[in-house]
Amino acid sequence: MRYSLLKILAEGLKGNTGWTPVWRNPEPREAYDVVIVGAGGHGLATAYYLAKEFGITNVAVLEKGWLGSGNIGRNTTIIRSNYLLPGNEPFYEFSMKLWEGLEQDFNYNAMVSQRGIINLYHNDGQQAAYLRRANAMRMAGADAVMLSQDEVRRLCPFLDFDNARFPIKGGLMQPRGGTVRHDAVAWGYARGADERGVDIIQNCEVTGFQIEDGVCRGVETSRGKISAKKVAVCVAGSSSRVMSLAGMRLPIESHVLQAFVSEGLKPTIPGVVTFGAGHFYVSQSDKGGLVFGGDLDGYNSYAQRGGLPVVEDVCEGGMAVMPMIGRARLLRGWGGIMDMSMDGSPFIDRTSIDGLYFNGGWCYGGFKATPASGFTYAHLIARDEPHPVAAAYRLDRFQRGAMIDEKGMGAQPNLH
Amino acid sequence: MIINHPLLGPRDSAEFTYLGDASLIERPDWQAEDAADQFHDYLYLRDNPAGEHRELWFHEQGDRSWLVVTRNTLTHEITKVELARDVARSLGRSR
Ligand SMILES: Cc1cc2nc3c(=O)[nH]c(=O)nc-3n(C[C@H](O)[C@H](O)[C@H](O)COP(=O)(O)OP(=O)(O)OC[C@H]3O[C@@H](n4cnc5c(N)ncnc54)[C@H](O)[C@@H]3O)c2cc1C
Q: Where are the domains of chain B?
A: 2-28+39-88
Q: Which residues contact A317 (CB under 8 A, 6 or more apart)?
A: A275, A278, A279, A280, A294
Q: What is the pLDDT of residues B8-31, one digit of tens each?
A: 999 999 999 999 999 999 999 999
Q: CA of A69: how far to CAs of A202, A203, A235, A370, in Å?
A: 10, 11, 11, 15
Chain A residues whose C-beta is within 8 A of a chain B C-beta are 240-241, 244, 249-254, 298-303, 307, 309, 342, 398-399, 411-414
Least Cα distance to A376 among A71, A35, A83, A42 occurs for A42
For ligand 1, is residue A325 a contact (CB within 6 Å)?
Answer: no
* Structure confidence at residue A365 (pLDDT): 95
Coil, strand or helix: which one is B89? helix
Sign of CA dihedral A121, A127, A131, A136: negative
Tell me the shortest Cα–Cα distance from B37 to chain A, in angstroms.
8
Which of chain A's residues have a Cβ under 8 Å away from the Cβ of B3?
none
**Between A244, A300, A342, which is nearest B73 by CB?**
A300
d(CA A95, CA A258) in angstroms, rounded, equals 24
Please indicate whether, in this complex, the C-beta atoms of A413 and B20 are within 8 angstroms of each other. yes
d(CA A23, CA A9) in angstroms, rounded, equals 22
Query: Which pairing describes strands A224-233 and A31-37: parallel, antiparallel, or unpaired?
Result: parallel
Q: What angle do CA A322, A326, A331 make, to 5 degrees?
A: 115
Q: Are A248 and A286 in contact (CB under 8 A)?
A: no
Does A31 score more than 80 pLDDT?
yes
Look up residue A163 and give its amino acid: N
CA A269 to chain CA mean position, Å? 22
pLDDT bin (cut points 50, 70, 90) of residue B94 is: confident
Residue of A36, A92, A367 to mutate, ligand 1, most atoms within 8 A of C-beta: A367
pLDDT bin (cut points 50, 70, 90) of residue B93 is: confident
Q: Are A195 and A27 in contact (CB under 8 A)?
A: no
Q: What is the pLDDT of residues A296-320, one digit of tens each?
A: 999 999 998 999 999 999 999 999 9
Hey, what domains does chain A have and what are their CATH numbers?
5-18+25-78+182-250+343-415 (3.50.50.60), 114-176+253-341 (3.30.9.10)
**Between A253, A303, A307, which is nearest B20 by CB?**
A253
d(CA B56, CA B82) in angstroms, rounded, equals 10
A71 CA → ligand 1 middle, Å: 3
Q: Which atom of ligand 1 is nearest to the CA of A69?
A: 49
Q: Is A401 exposed, middle or buried (0-12, 13-18, 19+ CB in 10 A)?
A: exposed
Q: Give the length of chain B.
A: 95
Does B95 score more than 80 pLDDT?
no
User: Which CATH architecture fits B2-28+39-88?
Assistant: 2-Layer Sandwich (3.30)
ipTM score of complex: 0.95
Tell me the shortest Cα–Cα distance from A191 to chain B, in angstroms.
32
Does A126 score more than 90 pLDDT?
yes
DSSP strands (E only) in A135-250: 145-148, 170-174, 178-179, 199-201, 206-212, 215-221, 224-233
Least Cα distance to A330 among A396, A400, A265 occurs for A265
